[in-house]
Amino acid sequence: MRQIGTLPVESEVRRLADYLLTLEIPTKVLPESDGWSLWVVHEDQRVLAANELNAFVANANDPKYGDARSGAEAIRQEEVRKTREHLKNTKSLNGSWATTTSSARGRPVTAALLGLSLIVAAMTMIGSTNETFEVSLMLANPTLSPTGQELWGLGALQQGQIWRLITPIFIHFSAMHLLFNMTSLWQLGGLIERRKPTRIMLILSFVSAVVSNVGQVAWNGPGPFGGMSGVICALFGYVWITGRNDPSSGFRLSQNQVLYFLIFLALCASGRMGPIANAAHFSGLAVGMIFAACRV
């Protein structure tokens, strides 16, 4: 996501957000210390959205902005309906996620991470509602940033909101984002928990969450982000290197699997797949590879 501007009054920025949504430009409205910022979700729509912001500032009383409210609400309701369907279908990925007690018991950390992600997705309708709750989970906390240019999480951490170092991993911004991450988490996390003590999965997930979240903010600067991808990259790196160092470990990835994964990371880094938290990906991958190299 990319910020395109800030307005002092919440109702004004939400009127513009409604209008942009009717133009098929989804945005996020977040509180700032000096007003309310507007973030465009898709990078390729940044210039168009910025032009619409300038037009709004020049003539905020244009009736088209007020008329857009009903249309935007209808679009949001349809997104909520689709999200509920996706969440319902998510429970049966690969034929069985945690649909049986025995399956979840065999991978408690993986099941907990998956469950928390689904709970957050349900509470926010995958980023389409409940922005206040969503912001409370982000490492980026715009309400505590006096300039908007510093690392957003710093003020929040100084006030004891340590959970922000981890909780961005539970935020997902689309059904596809959630689906891909949860499938990968269940497969890789389950593999590790079946062959290693549960504490290894717990420590690896905790460390990779912190490192990937902090790495993303340090590299990319202020901006909302989220997702389990950094942790998943760590799990992949751990399985990959452990399998190479110890073929008897039961961790085996084919050359094609490794190649596809690296190509995926390269495509993400190229920008062809939209705004991606690339620093979180590579930070997480490094954590997993280091854990494996140290034979944890």
User: 116 and 47 in one domain?
Assistant: no
Give the structural domain span for 44. 1-90
User: 168 and 50 in one domain?
Assistant: no
Last residue of a domain, one of 65, 90, 115: 90
> What average pLDDT does this structure show over 95-122?
76
Last residue of a domain, one of 69, 90, 111: 90
**CATH number of the CATH domain containing 221:** 1.20.1540.10
Burial 85-108 (b: 16+ CB within 10 A, else e): ebbeebeeeeeebbeeeeebeebe
At 249-259, the pLDDT tens digits run 889 888 899 99
Structure tokens at 109: 């950390």
**What integer pLDDT is reported at residue 96 of this predicted model?**
43
User: 123 and 86 in one domain?
Assistant: no
What angle do helix axes 229-245 and 175-195 make, rounded to 10 degrees?
A: 30
User: 101 and 10 in one domain?
Assistant: no
> What average pLDDT does this structure show over 219-244?
90
Residue 194 has pLDDT above 60, yes or no: yes
Residue 16 has pLDDT above 60, yes or no: yes
**What distance lies between CA 211 and its chain's CA centroid?**
15
User: 194 and 76 in one domain?
Assistant: no
User: 250 and 174 in one domain?
Assistant: yes
At 57-84, the pLDDT tens digits run 999 999 999 899 999 888 888 877 776 7
User: 99 and 86 in one domain?
Assistant: no
**What integer pLDDT is reported at residue 76 of this predicted model?**
81
User: 144 and 34 in one domain?
Assistant: no
Say if CB 120 and CB 128 are below 8 A apart. no
Mean residue pLDDT of the chain comes to 84
User: 224 and 150 in one domain?
Assistant: yes
At 110-167, the pLDDT tens digits run 999 999 999 999 888 776 666 778 878 888 655 444 444 444 555 667 678 889 899 9
